[in-house]
Amino acid sequence: MEWTIWAGFAAGLLISTLTAPVGVSGAVFLLPVQLSVLGVPSPAITPTNLLFNVVAGPGALWRYRRDGALRGTLARRLVTWTLPGVLIGAAIRVFALPGPGVFRLLVAAFLLPLGSWLCWRTLRPATRRPDTAEPSPLTLAVIALTVGVVGGIYGIGGGSLLGPVLAARGLPMARIAPATLAATFTTSVAGAAAYAVLATASSGPVAPDWGLGLACGAGGLIGGYLGARLQPHLPETALRLLLGTLAAALGALYAAQALA
């Protein structure tokens, strides 16, 4: 339907503008819109979300690359370890978690603690000087691989998990955002391709909704560029608190729906 295309474009534009400054593609918040408003079936909603990441990602990345923010090893290490994780997650999503009830519980289990953690870290008074060093290569590998699996199941690419973990260590958002968005984009390309292949072995709606995914992605492409450009001018604390509150509220909503 034509209204769903325009609604998807508007949702992608708004969400990406708000989330790109903190290194999140916006798919984590676009998923509930697709599930409850746009009526994308499960599990096709996950590859549709990955398609959104693929189309929307270059907007913010181009802006960050232009500003020189993609230099360094952090982005390369995240990409290296999230990539195999997202392939594992895609297989789990198709063959082990196809039911909408289980999927809602998964959404709630992910969003509720994530949102609470974001709010807690934002409001908690600093008691010591934050450690601004990157995690060790082994620690970063374990975190990135785990996040990749969750991202493959959930269709988010993993940036919305990696960002809070790295931010909790005190790393500046100027380093976190470009690296996590690079990992999200790369793993989303791999995840979308994996779902396209897995669709040939499944009788359910596993392939993405191409029209809606492209429309959401087009909005996200513009919104991501705007968000990356606005990052230096946005109050970081208020934005993190907003994201945490929204994530926790959405998690609570889906927990109630799944348990009803």
Tell me the whole-structure pTM to 2 decimals.
0.77
Range of the domain at 29: 2-259
* Residues 200-249: tens digit of each pLDDT: 766 665 667 888 889 999 999 999 999 999 888 878 788 778 777 877 88
Q: Which residue has the higher pLDDT, 260 or 8?
A: 8
In sequence order, what DSSP letters do the residues of the chain get, joined into one string? Answer: -HHHHHHHHHHHHHHHHHHGGGT--SHHHHHHHHHHTS-PPTTTHHHHHHHHHHHHHHHHHHHHHHTTTT-SSHHHHHHHHHHHHHHHHHHHHHHT---HHHHHHHHHHHHHHHHHHHHHHHHSPP-S----SPPPHHHHHHHHHHHHHHHHHHTSTTHHHHHHHHHHTT--HHHHHHHHHHHHHHHHHHHHHHHHHHGGG-SSS-S--HHHHHHHHHHHHHHHHHHHHHGGGS-HHHHHHHHHHHHHHHHHHHHHHHH-
pLDDT bin (cut points 50, 70, 90) of residue 155 is low
pLDDT band at 100 (very low <50, low <70, confident <90, very high): low
Residues 169-180: pLDDT tens digits? 777 778 888 888
Q: Report the domain count for the chain.
A: 1
